Amino acid sequence: MHIDILTLFPEMIDPIFQSSILKKAQEKQKFSYNLVNFRDYTTNKHNKVDDYPYGGGAGMVLTPQPVFDAVESVKQEKATKPRVVLMCPQGETFNQKKAEELAKEDHLIFICGHYEGYDERIREHLITDEVSIGDYVLTGGELGAMVVVDSVVRLLPEVLGNEESAPQDSFSTGLLEHPHYTRPADFRGMKVPDILLSGDHAKIDQWRKKESLKRTYQRRKELLDHHQLSPAEKEMLDE
């Protein structure tokens, strides 16, 4: 996968690619990235990328020219048909399903703005997806793009090692994850549940399933609306 991020603040984003799993994934050549400052594409003689809104009103609007030119340029370089994702609070709310969908692509382009708005022609003619990371307004799309990129890259084949594997994640199973414990078995009198020390893997699996269901019910009941409960799972919840 190749990821282009169009932003006026590339220095905000670069650090996420320089550590941990995203760094290792590049070393293993699972993805590459490019930060594009779309100010470099403006034809405005004062280097401006924004202007006053037609019809008046507060705030500035990102002009279409530098954004179109930057997107067309990165599209040409790769000769692929990328998804072009606009980060904005009006977009569809990001979730694990959307991360899984984007992880199937070969090329993603993210557009991050810092203004009151984007010229509507960017929405109408350039982008394929509009994504919000939640119902709150950030100063710009960069933090959102970082969230999306992080959750997409970790889903790419062979990015996570066995011990970090993705299919057990909260949300990818439709449920929140069960609790985890590690050594010591007794920490200041706080004990690990006996079942996890029993070596009985069928019983451990059953315990984990039940804890996962309980936790989902207690914290995110609405997730169970989309999860077809088996008779055994129903019984576990009733216990």
From 116, 129, 177, 233, active-site residue = 116
Q: Is 200 annotated as a binding residue?
A: no
Which residue is closest to ligand ADE by CB? 144
CB of 229 to ligand ADE, least distance (A): 32
Cis peptide before 184 (omega within 30 of 0): yes
What's the closest the beta carbon of residue 92 comes to ligand ADE, in angstroms? 10
- Residue 124 parent element (H or E): helix 120-125
Beta carbons of 52 and 84 less than 8 angstroms apart: no
Scan for tokens 């982008």, then name that residue.
Answer: 127
Q: Is 138 annotated as a binding residue?
A: yes
Nearest by Cα to 114 from 137, 83, 90, 84: 137
Is 119 annotated as contributing to ligand binding? no
Residue 196, interface with ligand ADE (CB under 6 A)? Answer: no
Contact 82, 75 (CB under 8 A): yes
Contact between 149 and ligand ADE (CB under 6 A)? no
Tokens 């550590």, located at residue: 19
Residue 141 interacts with ligand ADE (CB under 6 A)? yes
Does 138 bind ligand ADE (CB under 6 A)? Our answer is yes
d(CA 125, CA 118): 12
**Candidate residues 13, 111, 133, 159; the one interacting with ligand ADE per rule CB under 6 A:** 133
Q: Residues comprising the binding site for S-adenosyl-L-methionine?
A: 113, 133-138
Q: Residues in the site for ligand ADE, rule: CB under 6 A?
A: 87-89, 132-134, 136-138, 140-141, 144
